[in-house]
Amino acid sequence: MINVFFRRCGNTYREQHAAAYELLYAAAALSGFKKEALILCRTEEGKPYFKGEGLPLFSLTHSGDYAACSIGPLPSGIDLERRREIPERVSRRFLGGATGEEALRRFTMRESCGKLTGGGFFTGDRLPDGMRFLFFEQIPGYLLTLCAPASEEIGQPRPL
């Protein structure tokens, strides 16, 4: 099962970043992993992962005054965005000209897929086989999108 957690944090980048990693370690602890056993590494592209066999896979995101993470046995990608109007030039170039809620959904789909694959926003336009998108609205004023295996059970996002 892939679990999704979120928490409120400060709204500076430094506070959001720290909150995302605190959330990750708390989520890993809930999954039965001790912090001492979790060695954080990064791929050449900068995607974080835990070094070692049998450790959980995860994805992190933050926006505004919230941070969120997904964690589980299979890869996933997560994106959290404050509800806002996507700039027209971004929508035209990357989102097929969508506007309003549809543009925001497409933006978060691209971000979450890019996090899943490790290539980021610019490579997040192709959904890998066997994956799906889930949209969550548990955080008022935000859209949380998860890109995860279609076969995997997904827990409802919960505060931590």
Does residue 157 fall inside a structural domain? Answer: no
Residue 16 lies in a domain: yes
% of the chain residues with pLDDT over 70 = 98
Q: What is the mean pLDDT of residues 100-127?
A: 85
Q: Outline where 6-157 has alpha helix (H).
A: 13-30, 88-94, 100-117
Q: How far is CA 12 from CA 54, 66, 67, 143, 144, in A?
A: 34, 10, 11, 19, 19
Q: In the prediction, which pLDDT does 45 show?
A: 78
Look at residue 124 and tell me whether its pLDDT is greater than 70. no
Range of the domain at 10: 3-152
Alpha carbon 48 to its chain centroid, in Å, reads 12
Q: Is residue 159 part of a domain?
A: no
Tokens 């919230």 belong to which residue?
66
Asked if the structure places residue 158 within a domain, the reply is: no
How many beta carbons lie within 10 A of that of residue 158, not counting itself? 11
pLDDT surpassing 80 at residue 125: no
Do the Cβ atoms of 58 and 24 come closer than 8 Å? yes
Q: How many domains does the chain have?
A: 1
On whether residue 126 sits in a domain, the answer given is: yes
Range of lowest pLDDT (47-61, 101-115, 121-135): 121-135
In a domain, 160, yes or no: no
Label the pairing between strands 3-8 and 158-159.
parallel
Looking at residue 117, its pLDDT comes to: 82
> Each residue of 22-59: pLDDT tens digit?
999 999 999 888 888 899 999 887 888 999 888 999 99
Domain assignment present for residue 61? The answer is yes
pLDDT of 91 reads: 92
